[in-house]
Amino acid sequence: MQLRGAISLGWLNGVVAARRNPLWIISNLIPPITFLILMKIYARPEMVEYALIGGFIMIIASNAIGLMGDTVFYKREVKFQDMIVASPMTPVAYMFGLVLSGAFFSIPGITLFLILMAYYHLLSFVAFGVIILSSILSLVALSGLAFTLATFVKEPRFVWPLSGILSFLISVLPPVYYPWILLNKWLAVISMFIPSSSAAALFQKHLGLTSSLPMNELFIWIILIVESLLLLEVAMKLSNWRES
């Protein structure tokens, strides 16, 4: 029941919405492609490979943060969340449905960047597994954060600057588009507690761009898993899950 409802919501809010307005997909691709083009033109040749990793993660992060807009719209404007509150659907199923919609929206961009990674000979079987697993964990963690924050936003107009700030803090400021080795050791370690940054470090290591990590790889995986579970629990227990 819960899984079926989550999949239905994800399909409605993701696939159906994308079919009705493909411009959403195009707008989602513009920022990472812009960074990639700028890196290709102005940066050193090897930085293009970092731009591919950064663009891949930016697509995932932007769709996760974009859940803030959907959550506020459904809660404040169309009162859809009120109907969900009155139904047997749980907060985690509702959030999972929104996460799925973000994942569906991400598929075209993810496919494009995977093809580009293969063109640059970055992919391997192990690297592909690391990409998939770390992407799922970072998507769940960031979606949980976005869902929880959005349920406390009182006015829909407040979500747009907040989502823009979060996107910058998550996708641009930490070592996502550049190697973590450019940071001081303690800053690099701290950055591993940002889901997008830890996923980027794993990408860089397993795609052969860096030879080491700022901390033990097992610790990074543990951090990603704990953050995903913790933020999912926060979304279930502490979010403003009531009729407005």
pLDDT higher than threshold 80 for residue 86: no
List, in order, residues 6 or more apart from 26 with CB less than 8 Å away: none
What is the residue-wise DSSP string for 150-213?
HTT-SSGGGHHHHHHHHHIIIIISSTTSS-GGGS-HHHHHHHTTSHHHHHHHHHHHHTTS-S--
pTM above 0.75? yes
pLDDT on residue 244: 47
Stretch 193-220: mean pLDDT, rounded?
A: 93
Q: Give 201's pLDDT tier (boundaries 50, 70, 90).
A: very high
Domain boundaries, the chain: 2-237
pLDDT on residue 242: 57
Higher-pLDDT residue of 46, 183: 183
pLDDT higher than threshold 70 for residue 13: yes
pLDDT tens digits, 29-56: 888 999 899 988 988 888 899 999 999 9
Question: How big is the CA angle at 181 (ends 125 and 146), to the nearest 5 degrees?
Answer: 70
Contact in structure between 214 and 188 (CB atoms under 8 Å): yes
pLDDT higher than threshold 70 for residue 162: yes
Average pLDDT, the chain: 84
Contact in structure between 214 and 192 (CB atoms under 8 Å): yes
Stretch 186-190: mean pLDDT, rounded?
A: 93
pLDDT higher than threshold 80 for residue 144: yes
Q: Give 238's pLDDT tier (boundaries 50, 70, 90).
A: low
CA 238 and chain centroid, separation: 21
State percent of the chain over pLDDT 70: 96
Stretch 198-217: mean pLDDT, rounded?
A: 92
Helix (H, G, I), strand (E, B) or coil at 87: coil
